[in-house]
Amino acid sequence: MKPLHIGLDFDGVISDCGRLKSEAARLMYGVDIPPENFKKELVVDAGLLTLEQYRDLQRRIYGTEEYGLLAEPVPQVKEHLNRLAADGHRVRIITTRDGETLEVAKKWCAKHGLELDFTGVGFGVTKAAAAEGCHLYCDDDLDKLEPLVGVVPNLFLFSWGYNRHSDPSGVARRIASWPDLYASIVAIATE
């Protein structure tokens, strides 16, 4: 198996941010919004939260340990990260988190016994420079994948209910779960 350089997003690929947003909305505003609908465009346009409420929720889940550490890992992520390491691949987390939000993510990893190599590019910054040299990259946000076309040869969109409206054709391939992503990585490594 060829050793690969693998880039992964953090929120929505390692940690389950959809569930965390849903839980935070319940705690902060007493509103019940299912994780599969938790995307700014869906929640704010539907009038479930104001833009200000949405921003405040984001600040808390990404920037505070009180909320940030409540997140659950994405199902089966730990065992598959272990398998990737055992297969000899190099895994790097490329996230727009930086500063305080990156520190929260690192504390979350420590809580869950995950040792991950982070590159934090900063909010609103493209991941293209950081992802250069990766054989593949996976994100749950199509907007983050688009600038990587021509930079990273294999791009994957991690499917969740909240990104079901994104059409990745011409940019990325949808993967449904960690077992699905792992199988796709094995296929690339054995090409």
Residue 50: CB atoms within 10 Å:
12
Q: Which stretch in 1-9, 34-42, 53-61, 120-128 sits in contact with Mg ion by CB under 5 A? A: 1-9
Q: Which lies closer to Mg ion via its Cβ, residue 16 or residue 135?
A: 16
Least distance from C-beta 65 to Mg ion, angstroms? 19
Q: Which lies closer to Mg ion via its Cβ, residue 80 or residue 144?
A: 144
Least distance from C-beta 75 to Mg ion, angstroms? 16
Q: Which stretch in 12-20, 44-52, 85-93, 159-167 sits in contact with Mg ion by CB under 5 A? A: 12-20
Nearest one of 181, 17, 19, 14 to 109, comparing CA atoms: 14
The dihedrals phi and psi of 61, each to the nearest 5 degrees, come to -75, -30
* Location of structure tokens 């991950």: 116
Least distance from C-beta 166 to Mg ion, angstroms? 12
Q: Which lies closer to Mg ion via its Cβ, residue 23 or residue 141?
A: 141
Per-residue binder mask for Mg ion (CB under 5 A), 141-170, x = binder: x-----------------------------
Q: Which lies closer to Mg ion via its Cβ, residue 17 or residue 49?
A: 17
Work out whether 9 is an interface residue with Mg ion (CB under 5 A): yes
Q: Which stretch in 4-12, 34-42, 123-131, 169-177 sits in contact with Mg ion by CB under 5 A? A: 4-12
Q: Which stretch in 6-14, 103-111, 118-126, 175-183 sits in contact with Mg ion by CB under 5 A? A: 6-14
CA distances from 134 to 2, 50, 104, 150 (A): 13, 38, 25, 11
Work out whether 16 is an interface residue with Mg ion (CB under 5 A): no
Both structure tokens of 43? 């929640």
Q: Who contacts 135 (Cβ-Cβ below 8 Å, separation ≥6)? A: 4, 5, 6, 152, 153, 154, 188
* CA–CA separation, 184 and 182 (whole Å): 5
Both structure tokens of 83? 């398998």
CA distances from 147 to 3, 10, 86, 137, 178 (A): 25, 17, 30, 12, 23
Work out whether 120 is an interface residue with Mg ion (CB under 5 A): no
Which residues here bind Mg ion, judged by CB under 5 A?
9, 11-12, 140-141
